[in-house]
Structure 1
Amino acid sequence: MATTLPLHQIRADYDAKTIVVYQAYSPAIAEPAVRAQRFVEPFSRNRMTWIKPSFLWMMGRSNWARKPGQERVLAIRITREGWEDALSQAVLTSYKSGVHSDRASWERELKTSAVRVQWDPERTLRGGVLDARSIQVGLSRHIVAEYVDAWTTEIRDLTPTVRKIADLVKQGRADRAAEQLPKERPYDVPEAIGRRLHSHP
């Protein structure tokens, strides 16, 4: 991945109707979800859940599915309608002049918003940190049910692929590893959402 990516740009694996986001869970949560093709107990609908469209950011976060409690990496395909509905409600987790009218109004929005967005440093295949940012979207308990019941169309366990890529990187076969990565590309959002997210094309 080039280091000349725009600072705030959504990049994802998507098609005309759906987009793929990633989450990492323990087997106790992941395995029932894959079987049911939706999140079921012990997944909690009463806490915020974060979804991420960047595969490599998820790899950095989960240490290639080696971090305790994140041993299963899931690719969750959701509707673009649901994704953009979430983004249209999102509030940045940090104050940005020019996005919010003032700090007090941002604080009020943040307290009541059902969705939060933060931009974290994007990662390279070898785990390096880029200047470019990757979007993370936090769904509060007030909207998680929609994510589970209405938006999700497929849940795949990518853990075998994750381990294969990690092994190739460890063996110094980065080119082969890169061939296994999801094909992510810029995801354009309506201008109003882009302003809300501090996102740039």
Structure 2
Amino acid sequence: MGEPQHRVRALYTASTITVYQAYGPEIGVPAAREGRFPSAWKRDRMTWIKPSFLWMMYRCGWGTKAGQETVLAVEITRGGFEWALQHSCLSHYVPGPHPDRDAWQRQVKRAPARVQWDPERDLHLRPLPHRSLQLGLSGEAARRYADEWIVSIDDVTPLVHEIHALVQGRDQDSATRLLPKERPYPSGDDLLAHIGG
């Protein structure tokens, strides 16, 4: 049985889920130290969280891209994550979940969260046939994320560099062993139905 086209895979516990973000050190370092985002982090901007470690590595180039040198593992409540999914819409028009383009546009204006399904990545950051969730938070969702949902913030940049060095050294087995243990997230049909899951 192959991997479904759309499924949330994540590192999670009974009460939390880990998502990844990458920032410049001026935001990433104090966020990890204090366990919350510093005042330089803007609550009025959309912030994208990713449950997939390897998709985050693709996005930040293993922590080498400017402004994305500090990779954070942000542990948030599952209740918050699920609230964001329930109050989200797709970031682009898809005929299935939306009756027409106008209905989608109305939903985009109202929804505090956006969903994109992007190709999952392998250790060499090549696209895989199945998709990985990106969740964009704005307005109420971004405020709740920053002020209510965060349980802990860890700077995982050293781990990122270690895994990347193993990949470059062609030690794929050791690199794989260090990856976060992501499993299918128990989302149920109703949680993802409106966003193409």
Q: Which residue of 1 aligns with 2:187?
A: 189
How far apart in 2 are the matches of 1:146 and 1:190? 23
**Which residue is equivalent to 1:104?**
102
**3-state DSSP of counterpart to 1:119:** strand
Structure 2 gap segments, 5+ residues each: none
Show the counterpart of 2:19.
21
State the partner residue of 2:118.
120
Root-mean-square deviation over aligned CA pairs: 1.2
Query: What corresponds to 2:82 in structure 1?
Result: 84
The residue number in structure 2 matching 1:174 is: 172
Please give the TM-score of this superposition, normalised by the length of structure 2.
0.97
- 1:151 equivalent in alignment to 2:154: no
Tell me the distance in 1 between the aligned counterparts of 2:191 and 2:164.
Answer: 35
Aligned with residue 73 of structure 1, among 51, 71, 74: 71
For 2:114 and 2:153, the matched residues in 1 are separated by 23
Cα distance between partner residues in 2 of 1:124 and 1:191: 26
Q: CA deviation at 1:192?
A: 2.1
Offset at 1:95? 1.6
Match of 1:38 among 22, 36, 39: 36
Q: TM-score, normalised by structure 1?
A: 0.95
Structure 1: gaps of 5 or more residues = none
- Tell me which amino acid in the other structure corresponds to 1:50: W
1:12 alignment partner in structure 2: 10
Distance 1:41 1:5 in 2: 40
CA distance in 2 between partners of 1:5 and 1:75 (Å): 25
Deviating 4+ runs (over 6 angstroms): none
SS in structure 2 at match of 1:138? strand
Q: What is the total number of aligned residue pairs between the two structures?
A: 197
